[in-house]
Structure 1
């Protein structure tokens, strides 16, 4: 009966009209841009810059491989949502109760640490631009602004803001790469796979860091929020995903070029963590003047704040679906209802207010280390469970994995397991 229907559930109509006339319109692209913008944070920029400063263009091929891996992962998440008519969390629950235990422990701890990390990262460029306020003060302001946008806005507003932020990121960083006048021959030589001495960890980081966080699991929810709710949208979803990650790949490549040409050739080293971008700001001001330095800080802020917004919105949807599926509800989240639900808003508050206490630590940049270690635990889980779900009878036969998807997802699982082990060993040293 209608009155018994789970209020957060919206059933999928398998007979919905396929978007025959819209599949080639670029205006449809959106959820992929959101997940890619969320996944590339300030820490990824620093890691890419350091790789370029130490090894020049030698690891360019790792950036390309990273784009391919993330396209495969995001495509698998979107394909599950559209083909199964349910959500990724419903799929996880079908694999056993262990997935829920894993998720709850992870998302509670990770959310607390990430909240402080995201607010600190967003505050750094603002404090450099407007030093009248301290980093903790700017961090609190960023957290409250992010909370307000996600609490009161809907997906359409959220997507537009994210698109503007990634546009700012892209124009500034790619413009910076053009400004340093890259060596085209040396750049192209980096497409040949090779591992310079001491580059193994950086290579794994470049492959694994091109827009990859827990928010990759949120891609399916953003796909549904866009109005794509069945397999008739599969072609559009795949276009959206490829455009987003190719754009992200160009963005990361631009940072590698800056690291290789601006830092490698001059022997300059950066501080680890988000503060390394402030070091780059000083270098840019010395070489190109204050206008370029200021624009770079604007791009730094756009990169950090887009990640904050994406996590505030996307991971809160995951938590909402965890609560919904615990009541054995099926189908997909109803558009607009999840954002008004108690679990969604409760997790938003958890991301925002408790972590503010960590902003006043004397060394907030140490949070980046904890964030990296926690983040490494989720991606192997995502890759392995996608392999499981998309090769089983839970997925309609037409949309199950082919050999290429299996190879890429298995490779991603091995890659992220290696990164996870590396993070754990780093904590012990």
Structure 2
């Protein structure tokens, strides 16, 4: 267990040395999918959506705060807590929801890492896909949590530094930026979808579900609650917030609308557009930031499916268990297939973010249900936590619903949107069923749940 909070002599330095679990979630949040959405918002609408970027950091921190509370107060993995207090069916729904979202993300992010590696260093991106798959398999399966945590903190720091440095090199219109803090949503579908993408990058099912496992790997318990708050604040509010705002200001200042992800954005084209304006140094920083963002997300995302599957199947969620170690290696190696995937990775990242957003309301509903379940968490959930959670849940649900309505309006001729909408309807029905279950259970005395039932 960490002793940073129990030993006052450690002070701020002691807390900083103990940071880690939420920084791994932050490594996923500050990734290429969020980058694509933020770049698109800035390039397409200038500074207008700056308020959405700031809001995304606040909502992302709120979601991780709720996940932190659940993990520390139950001292369980989220799947185990769901199975014990809600039933096996709900646990499987959560596992399937998360594994699908993180599995799709793994393939698309690997394509991103491979292509950016090819652009920065050279060589065929498919070669880089194989190389990175092997690095992940050996590093994560061999080094375990500490390898992941150290890598996440280091690379996220590089990402933040790269984009903050780039922001200092571009000509930012301070007055227009201040105007962008006033909530205004541009007319038309593009504005709504880009706002959804920005928010979806910060509030995502993989971030929410992995928190309890990374805290357990760190050895945190209820005694480390204050340290957990500090971890969430420094990673999601500070590091992720600074990354998002800096990236947005760069895009709003110098990128043209035709280079946005809604247009024909290519990583090299976006980076090259900086060169004539502010010099090759900014171009280099942009590419290095994109590269680091993709690598950090890839590593953190790799452990998400093994964590949930291991918890559901009764394995140890640590590389000391050969089955868990094999699952980590398998996810890393299978992700290498992404390097052979066709299409523009920025476009694919947007689709990946959309799919993750579809599954997020269910995960948020699970967290809020358990935090207000007297047998799962004996102490009452604070009013501010419930209000904040409901706000995040409501926004995520509305944005997911907007996507489904738009797809149904435009038609479902292609298999990808058809699958997305079908999954959205199914997981939406599960979410409604969970809310109905909570309302029903709230009217009767609490009883132990048989883990083999779906009561």
Question: 3-state DSSP class of the match of 2:267?
Answer: helix
The verdict on how the C-alpha distance between 1:372 and 1:410 changes in structure 2, with shifts beyond 3 A counting, is same
**5+ unaligned residues in a row in structure 1: which ranges?**
1-11, 326-332
Distance in 2 of aligned mates of 1:173 and 1:18 = 32
> Does the 8 Å CA contact 2:107/2:336 hold for their aligned counterparts?
yes
Distance in 1 of aligned mates of 2:75 and 2:335 = 35
The two structures have a TM-score, normalised by structure 1, of 0.85
Asked if 1:60 corresponds to 2:41, the answer is: no
The verdict on how the C-alpha distance between 1:357 and 1:306 changes in structure 2, with shifts beyond 3 A counting, is closer
- Shift of the alpha carbon at 1:402? 1.8
Asked if 1:409 corresponds to 2:389, the answer is: yes
Root-mean-square deviation (CA, aligned residues, Å) is 2.7
Q: 1:102 aligns with which of 89, 93, 103?
A: 93
Distance in 2 of aligned mates of 1:241 and 1:232 = 16
Asked if 1:293 corresponds to 2:273, the answer is: no
Q: 2:138 aligns with which of 143, 148, 171?
A: 148
> Does the 8 Å CA contact 1:173/1:251 hold for their aligned counterparts?
yes
Distance in 1 of aligned mates of 2:362 and 2:25 = 18
Asked if 1:387 corresponds to 2:354, the answer is: no
Partner residue in 2 for 1:19: 6
Q: 1:304 aligns with which of 265, 288, 294?
A: 294
Structure having the larger proportion of residues in helix: 2
> Does the 8 Å CA contact 2:101/2:359 hold for their aligned counterparts?
no
The verdict on how the C-alpha distance between 1:273 and 1:121 changes in structure 2, with shifts beyond 3 A counting, is farther
- Shift of the alpha carbon at 1:298? 1.6
Q: How does 1:337-356 map to 2 (within 5 A)?
A: 338-356=318-336
Distance in 2 of aligned mates of 1:71 and 1:273 = 30
Asked if 1:37 corresponds to 2:24, the answer is: no
> Does the 8 Å CA contact 2:56/2:202 hold for their aligned counterparts?
yes
Distance in 2 of aligned mates of 1:227 and 1:112 = 27
Distance in 2 of aligned mates of 1:82 and 1:422 = 34
Question: 3-state DSSP class of the match of 2:314?
Answer: helix
Q: How does 1:267-282 map to 2 (within 5 A)?
A: 268-272=258-262, 276-282=266-272
- Shift of the alpha carbon at 1:384? 0.5
Distance in 1 of aligned mates of 2:348 and 2:248 = 24
Asked if 1:371 corresponds to 2:352, the answer is: yes
Partner residue in 2 for 1:225: 217
> Does the 8 Å CA contact 1:39/1:216 hold for their aligned counterparts?
no
In the TM superposition, what whole-angstrom CA distance separates every residue of 1:180-233 from its partner, at most 9, and x where no partner exists?
Answer: 13222222222222222232232233233226341331112212222212x221
Distance in 2 of aligned mates of 1:182 and 1:344 = 48
- Bigger mean CA deviation after superposition, 386-395 or 352-361: 352-361
- Shift of the alpha carbon at 1:116? 1.8
> Does the 8 Å CA contact 1:34/1:310 hold for their aligned counterparts?
yes
Partner residue in 1 for 2:226: 235
Partner residue in 2 for 1:165: 155
Partner residue in 2 for 1:127: 118
- Shift of the alpha carbon at 1:427? 5.1
Distance in 2 of aligned mates of 1:120 and 1:274 = 17
Distance in 1 of aligned mates of 2:65 and 2:250 = 30
The verdict on how the C-alpha distance between 1:373 and 1:49 changes in structure 2, with shifts beyond 3 A counting, is closer
> Does the 8 Å CA contact 2:74/2:376 hold for their aligned counterparts?
yes
- Shift of the alpha carbon at 1:347? 2.7
Aligned length: 401
Asked if 1:251 corresponds to 2:232, the answer is: no
- Bigger mean CA deviation after superposition, 358-367 or 80-89: 358-367
The verdict on how the C-alpha distance between 1:17 and 1:296 changes in structure 2, with shifts beyond 3 A counting, is closer
> Does the 8 Å CA contact 1:113/1:367 hold for their aligned counterparts?
no
- Shift of the alpha carbon at 1:98? 2.5
Asked if 1:78 corresponds to 2:68, the answer is: yes
Asked if 1:91 corresponds to 2:81, the answer is: yes
Asked if 1:190 corresponds to 2:191, the answer is: no
Partner residue in 2 for 1:116: 107
- Shift of the alpha carbon at 1:99? 2.0
The two structures have a TM-score, normalised by structure 2, of 0.80
> Does the 8 Å CA contact 1:147/1:348 hold for their aligned counterparts?
yes
